[in-house]
Amino acid sequence: MNRNLASQQYQKVGLNSALAHSTPHQQVLMLMNGVLTSIATAKGAIERQDTELKGTSLSKAISIIGGLQASLADTESNEIAQNLDNLYIYMSSTLMKANIESSVDKLDEVTQLLLEIKSAWEKIPAEHHNTQSPVEK
């Protein structure tokens, strides 16, 4: 078995284990970290002019944002969930434009937006981590 493949398999097992033993709150943070990692990888790919890696990384980031968006509950009547939904739509659209334009500035913009959401998410008191958030399904 190739070392790279073995490493990828090991990482998948670790991720699956982490997901299985985490709260919904922790899972959302893991998804946000996944988006941030994918954007950082895409940024490096743009700087190295690696078009394939840029596209793959941004596709992954957009997919994860879709997962975050799908976890929102009651976007019709919950203003916070509705605002997050709109923000996730904007981020996905901006990442698509960043891919087409190879724009590091657009990647930085989405990173900043996501860091603000993540920061607020991290401030949720621990006693609410095991309960369902009013914005999560």
The secondary element (H helix, E strand) that includes residue 36 is: helix 24-48
pLDDT tens column, 19-30: 566 788 888 999
49: alpha, beta or left, given left = phi > 0 and alpha = psi -120 to 50? left
pLDDT tens column, 28-74: 999 999 999 999 999 999 999 999 999 999 999 999 999 999 988 88
Token readout for 31 is 């998804």
